[in-house]
Amino acid sequence: MKLLRYGPVGQERPGLLDAEGRVRDLGAHVADIAGAALTPEGLARIAALDPATLPLVEGRPQQDLRLGACVSGVGKFIGIGLNYADHAAEAGMEVPSEPILFTKWTSCIAGPDDDLTLPRGAEATDWEVELGIVIGSEARDVSEAEALDHVAGYCLINDISERDWQLRRGGSWDKGKGQDGFGPIGPWLVTPDEIGDLAALGMWLDVDGHRYQQGSTATMVFGPAALVAYCSRFATLHPGDVISTGTPPGVGMGQKPPVYLRPGQVMRLGIDGLGVQTQHVKGS
């Protein structure tokens, strides 16, 4: 299934994408794509529905129908740093021996095609196409073997980062990761049965039509199961929590000389099977 949330900012409704690429409303069956709806039982109830019996929503998703972040009620938004060997190399940093964890404040979450307004004073705002993991059932100190049993699905994330604030403002990555709009999620949450091989998903990102990132989850240092298990050692994961799993090479910081976002530019990014995002960059 492909689950989504549609409608104006702050008024999103739950829906799913049918086989013809149209949105069907789930409001009569779930309050939101959040919490109980993401548990194995909740997903099974949605999967048992016949999409043809659900109300058809007017408009085409990501054209004349806005999509919000595909999951709501996110309690924890966890990022993973330097989790692609080729990205660590371009950054001039060692491949980590354990996952690097940081947080993106949940107020940064945005729809997949919402405009990005650069924060006041930002000079080094960068892009990162990433595979997102959405938790579906409580996970506390779980083993790697059972970790993926706690996953509701996967999604596309742009881990937008202000590099100056991330790396040179007192040592906390969080400062450069959590500004409003720095966490576009979606367009939809794809359940595990539709995702294919997690270790072979192509991923890419363009700025103004120039291909900067072209990679694959094949170069991940720590795969999804390892990341869920590792994160669950340090905090109990709950339905709706999100883990953003790192990015392949091609970020602006890695260009020679570095290239960062400016007002008027357009980012477009995608991952195999998870859809595409488009963000227009605005000045503050």
Peptide bond into 258 cis (omega under 30): no
Provide CB contacts within 8 A for 247, sequence distance 6+: 83, 84, 87, 128, 129, 130, 159, 213, 215
**Does residue 25 fall inside a structural domain?**
no
Please tell me the pTM assigned to this model: 0.96
* Residue % of the chain over a pLDDT of 70: 100
Question: Could you tell me if residue 230 is inside a domain?
Answer: yes
pLDDT of residue 166: 83
Cβ proximity of 91 and 82 under 8 Å? yes
For residue 68, being part of any structural domain is answered with no
56-115 residue pLDDT tens: 999 999 999 999 999 999 999 999 998 998 777 777 778 889 999 999 999 999 999 999
- Is 17 a domain residue? no
Tell me, yes or no, whether 51 lies in a domain: no
Q: Are 66 and 32 in contact (CB under 8 A)?
A: no
Q: What is the mean pLDDT of the chain?
A: 95
Distances, alpha carbon 25 to alpha carbons 7, 53, 57, 70, in Å: 11, 10, 6, 14
Diameter over CA atoms, the chain: 55
Q: Mapping DSSP to helix (H, G, I), strand (E, B) and coil, where does residue 88 land?
A: helix
User: Residue range 139-150: average pLDDT?
Assistant: 98
Q: Is residue 36 part of a domain?
A: no
In a domain, 237, yes or no: yes
> For residues 247 and 251, what is the distance between their CA atoms, to the nearest angstrom?
8
Residue 240 counted as domain residue: yes
**Residue 259 domain boundaries:** 73-282
- Residue 212, domain CATH: 3.90.850.10
Number of domains, the chain: 1
